[in-house]
Structures are given as C-alpha cells and as structure tokens.
Amino acid sequence: MSESTWVKRQFGHRARLALSPADVRVLDAQAHAARATWNLLHDFWTMTPKCRRSLKAADDAIRQARKDFDWLAVLPAQAAQAVLKTYFQAWKNCWDGRAEEPNFKSRIRSVMSVDIPQGRDLNIVRVHRRWGMVQIPKLGRVHFRWTKDLPAGKRADKENRITGARLVKDALGWHIAFRVQTLEAEPKPHQGPQVGIDAGVNIPLALSDGNHQDHGRPAQLPDGTSDRDKWLTPKEKEKLLRLEREAAHRRGFRKRGQKPSRRLRHTYDQIKQLRARATRRALDWQHQTTTHLARTYGTVVVEQLDITNMVKSARGTVEEPGTNVKAKAGLNRSISQEAWGRTVTMLTYKLARHGGELVKVPAPNTSRRCSACGLLTPGSREDQATFVCKNPDCGWSGNADWNAARNILHLYRIGHVVAVPAAGRCSRQARKRVKPATAR
C-alpha cells in the first residue's frame, strides 16, 4: 500500500443545542466573560511597554483577573486560555500581513462564543437517532441535534476523533461547532466531465453544458429594485415588514442614550430570527448545489473574481459624485446575497473529497467575448440577460451567462489558468498525508 493512500482531513460540523432558560443564562455569562477577557487582554497588551510584553506576563494577568473578579471566573479556565491563544494568533496574522490589528470587541456587534479547546472533555454520546449528549464545562450534560455521524465513543481513536468545539450563539439560539479529524482513503481521480461555471445574479450558477443551477428566487422585484428578502416566503416578508415598522415606531419614543425597551428588544429578536432563517436557507441551497456539482463533474472551472472591488459603492466624492448610485447599490446587495466566494470555497473542499479539481481562469472579457466565434464585437452585450454577437459572419445568440460559462471552460482548455493553492486546504477542510502504518 502506497504512502498516499490515506489522507487526514479536518472539518467542522455544527449542531443545535437544546438548552433550558437557566442554561442559556450560564452560556450568555460565559460568552460575555470571554469578550471581556479579550478586551482586558487588549488593554494589557497595548498599555504595557514593549520590553515587558510576553506570553507569560499576559497569562499571569489573566489568572490574577480570574481570581479578583467573580464575573470573569464563570468562564472555564481552558476557554480563557483559548482567548489568549486566539489573541496572540491575531497579532501574528497582523505581523504577517494577513489581517489588520486586533481591536476591541463590541457587545452589540461581536459574535457571542465560547471555545472548548480539548475534545476529550466533551464525552459525546449518541442517545438515539435524532439526539446526542455532550459535556459542556461548568454546565453539564446537554442534548444536541444528531444530524451527522461523529467519531465518538468506541468509534473514536487517535486518527478519528473530535479535537475540540466552539459554542456559538446566533439569532436562532446556541449551537455547538465540532472540530473533527478523520482518516479517510484518498479518493480516486474523478472521471466526470469538465464544466465551466459563471456566477451571476439572474442565474446564480450558469454551467457551460446548459445544466444551470437556479434557486428559483428572483434577484429583483418587478419594479427593478433588489429583493433583499428573496429567501423568505410572502407571509414571512409581510411579517418582516410589520416588525420593521413596529421597531421604527417604538424607536421614535426612545430618548438619546436611553436603553431600548423590552418590547423593542423583542421586536429586534424577531427580525433577527427571520434574517437568520433566510441565511440558513441560502446556505442549505449552496451546500446541496455544490455537493451535486462535486459528485457530477471531475473538473470545475470558475473565474478569478475580486468580489471586494465588485461591490464597491458608486457614490463617489463631493467633488466628483457618482452616477446610478441607487442601481449600483441594488446590484451590490444582489452580489453579496449570492455569496459567490462561499460557493467557491464549498466547491474547493467538496471536489477534493470526491477526487475532483477546481480551476480558476482570468475574468476579463469572459462576458463580452462570443463563445462561438471568439471575437470581441462592440454592442454584443446590450442586454444584461441576452448575448447577441454583432459579428456579421457569426450572429450567434443565447443567454449571456451561458455564453460566459462557455468562454470560461474554453480558457481552461487552452491553458489560461490562474495559480491557486492546493485543493482541499481551506478553512472548512485540511488534508495531510500520513504513513500507511497509521491507517485503520
């Protein structure tokens, strides 16, 4: 058996927790303590002279603060150490040029989370088909939704195990995100066909073979404006509009600097729940679609897009104001809702797991060039949805996104490829070759 037969993979799995109101208050207190620990650590690091900054000094400061303040002691010691580790990693990312300097975490804007760095403390047990139990520090045994087989109990070993978890709260409640490490056989090369994909707004994913992937939710309303709530049903849209009007009405009675009332906070929570439901539906469609593409095609070709520049505002400056600002803002919202970058990330690790390959090609002129004659003729892309070649010797016409997908696949076949990192090395999944002696 060759050395490349087995591959060690790391991925995440998120599950919903079933908590009582008392459990929710405990986890809320731990999350606020974790955020406060980060802020206090940031104060300590920025106010201490450089000659006295060290990991040991920061560790000693955290330990002393946990002894002096009871509201910090509600956070488990391992979670506090995880905050310290994450903070130092943030500075390393800044020094390496991968991110900006770490800053304070706001109570309103920051995500409430608590880290459980050691997987052996979880003691995961499957209760029955739909539910499992996990041990959470300073909380006890908690039920969670069992939607995926996890390497727990007798199935866990050195190579197939859960290395840790993170508790995360969103508008739908508390969830647990497991960090899973498994040892799997390296897949054989996928023998499926090649396909080019053009990410668009009218057609979310246009394929070069005509098998377009559409979620059936129009990006624009009949009046031409962007539909920011396209993942909600008509009744849910009516409810959202009513809640937003109630929030605006109640917000008008609040004085400057006054805390929002309980009714206003409840209205905000209902709005967040609807927004979170729409986000989960979009994620579900992306997961199902990318899984289908990874199982069907061996090579998937996409454009190398700079989405950050594509969604920049057209407002301009006071001296040089922009034009069509409202239309550009609607287009930016539609692009952001489609989450093209997340789709590419999903395709990357899913194709690697099925033996496929993701390839990127340059994006310029893929939507302006005719896929039949290969020429750039002015006026061929007059309509946003239709491409009509103005070359007298060609005259080909068809869907504009389909034309771009055919051009993307053609660029790959003639060798115009953009160098990208190795497939499978992304935030959701990592691959590591191991020796056959560790294979099970």
The predicted-structure confidence for 336-351, as pLDDT tens digits, reads as follows 778 888 889 999 999 9
Pair 356, 405 in one domain: yes
CB atoms within 10 A of CB 61: 17
Is 423 a domain residue? yes
What is the pLDDT, as a whole number, of residue 82?
93
Residues 313 and 425 in one domain: yes
Same domain flag for 99 and 213: no
pLDDT in tens, 227-243: 678 889 999 999 999 99
* Residue closest to 251 by CA, chosen among 236, 269, 268: 268
Tell me, what DSSP letter sits at residue 226?
Answer: B
Residues 353 and 300 in one domain: yes
Same domain, yes or no, for 26 and 97?
A: yes
Instruction: Look at residue 280 and tell me whether its pLDDT is greater than 70.
Output: yes
**What pLDDT does 319 receive?**
67
In this predicted structure, what is the pLDDT of residue 131?
Answer: 93
Question: Are 113 and 170 within 8 A, CB to CB?
Answer: no
**Quick check: is 435 in a domain?**
no
User: Of 133, 164, 185, which one is at a domain's C-terminal end?
Assistant: 185
The answer to whether position 247 is within a domain reads: no
Q: Are 428 and 147 in contact (CB under 8 A)?
A: no
Q: Residue 427: which pLDDT band, with cuts at 50, 70 and 90?
A: very low
CB 17, CB 28: distance < 8 Å: no
At 224 the pLDDT is: 54
Domain for residue 236, yes or no?
A: no
Rounded mean pLDDT, 74-92? 92
Whether 175 and 320 map to the same domain: the answer is no
**Residue 429 pLDDT class (50, 70, 90 cuts):** very low
Please say if the pLDDT value at position 226 is more than 70: no
**Domain stops at, among 185, 210, 241:** 185
More confident residue, 418 or 177: 177
- Average of per-residue pLDDT across 1-18: 79
Final residue of a domain: which of 159, 185, 211? 185
CA distances for 211 relative to 286, 293, 350, 396, angstroms: 16, 10, 19, 19
Q: Has residue 100 been placed in a domain?
A: yes
Nearest to 230 by CA among 243, 217, 246: 217
- Per-residue confidence at 4, pLDDT binned at 50, 70, 90? low
Question: Is the distance from CB of 38 to CB of 83 less than 8 angstroms?
Answer: yes
Residues 214 and 298 in one domain: yes
Sort residue 428 into left (φ over 0), alpha (ψ -120 to 50) or beta.
Answer: alpha
Over range 234-254, report the average pLDDT: 92
pLDDT average, residue stretch 149-159: 77
Check if the beta carbon of residue 144 is closer than 8 Å to that of residue 132.
yes
Q: What mean pLDDT is predicted for residues 62-85?
A: 92
Range 267-277 average pLDDT: 92
Residue 240 in contact with residue 248, Cβ under 8 Å? no
More reliable by pLDDT, 382 or 86: 86
Long-range contacts of 288-296 (CB under 8 A, 24+ apart): 289/205, 289/213, 289/215, 289/343, 290/343, 290/346, 290/347, 290/350, 291/350, 292/213, 293/195, 293/197, 293/205, 293/213, 293/347, 293/350, 294/347, 294/350, 294/351, 294/353, 294/354, 294/356, 295/354, 296/192
Distances (CA, A) of 94 to 41, 51, 52, 90, 130: 17, 19, 20, 6, 42
Whether residue 440 is predicted with pLDDT greater than 60 in this model: the reply is: no
Confidence at residue 439, expressed as pLDDT on a 0 to 100 scale: 35
Assess contact for 30 and 79: CB atoms under 8 A: yes
Same domain, 149 and 296: no
Residue 381 predicted with pLDDT over 80: no
Average pLDDT over residues 18-32: 94
pLDDT at 22: 94
Q: What is the mean pLDDT of residues 196-216?
A: 86
Across 361-381, average pLDDT: 83
For the segment 260-281, the average pLDDT, to the nearest whole number, is 91
126 and 206 in a single domain? The answer is: no
Q: Is 380 left (phi over 0), alpha (psi -120 to 50) or beta?
A: alpha
Pairwise CA distance, residues 179 & 124, whole Å: 13
> Is residue 331 included in any domain, yes or no?
yes
Per the structure, the complete domain to which residue 175 belongs is given by 3-185
Shared domain for 200 and 130, answered yes or no, is no
Dist CA 15 CA 36 (whole Å) = 26
Report phi then psi at 224, rounded to 5.
95, -5
More confident call, 113 vs 210: 113
Does 216 share its domain with 365? Answer: yes
Domain count, the chain: 2
- In whole angstroms, what is the distance from residue 356 CA to residue 31 CA? 40
Q: Quote the tokens at residue 18.
A: 């079933």
Q: What is the mean pLDDT of residues 91-120?
A: 89
Residue 250 lies in a domain: no
CA proximity to 115, closest of 166, 156, 43: 166
Shared domain for 209 and 149, answered yes or no, is no
Q: Do the domain assignments include residue 72?
A: yes
Structure confidence at residue 419 (pLDDT): 64
